[in-house]
Amino acid sequence: MKHASNQKPEYEKELRKAGVRITRPRRIILDILSSTEDHPDAMKIFHRAIEIDNSISLSTVYRTMNLLEDLGAIHRHAFNGGPSRFEQAHGDHHDHLIDIDTGAVIEFKSDKIEKLQEEIAKSLGYDIVHHRLELYARKTEQK
């Protein structure tokens, strides 16, 4: 989960504004989310958290992720029907290419794709309100 804006998300501030108490376990989870470069699922977040504090429960991870999603601070993705994975909601729009062999998620931007989507919507009489593009791919064998 590379933060396109190069700024650390302010999850703690957003939770406080919503009246949520910031406990030590929750702060650890927020720190993990703020510094991650991938699109972790709740189990990965949990495993990273218990390396720091083994008293953190999986339910605390799920509750925190649900709160952040409800506040619009993170996006939940279910790539290819797998477990929900999370990324920062703020920042520039981008699309995803998912490696079906490794599960790696690669973020990319393409002005051509964005323009083509707009053209298609317009030709059908629509304005795009929101979209997500996910490409599922297998790495090409190098010769």
What's residue 39's pLDDT? 84
For the structural domain made of 11-88, what CATH number should be given? 1.10.10.10
- Residues present in the chain in total: 143
Does the pLDDT of residue 10 top 90, yes or no?
Answer: no
Task: Tell me the domain boundaries of the chain.
Answer: 11-88, 95-137
> What six digits make up the tokens of 128?
């795009």
Task: Let me know: does 74 contact 89? Beta carbons within 8 Å.
Answer: yes
pLDDT category at 9 given cuts 50, 70, 90 is low
Q: Which SS3 state, helix, strand or coil, does residue 142 take?
A: coil
- pLDDT tens, residue by residue, 28-71: 999 998 888 788 889 999 999 999 999 999 999 999 999 998 88
pLDDT one-digit tens code per residue, 62-75: 999 999 988 888 88
* Secondary-structure class of domain 95-137 per CATH: alpha beta
Strand pairing category for 134-137 and 85-88: unpaired
Task: State residue 106's pLDDT score.
Answer: 87
**Across residues 84-93, what is the average pLDDT?**
75
Q: Which two tokens stand for residue 81?
A: 């029907």
Section 17-30 average pLDDT: 91
Distance CA 68, CA 107 (A): 21
Q: Tell me, yes or no, if the pTM score tops 0.85.
A: no
CA distances (Å), origin 35, targets 30, 79, 119: 9, 21, 37
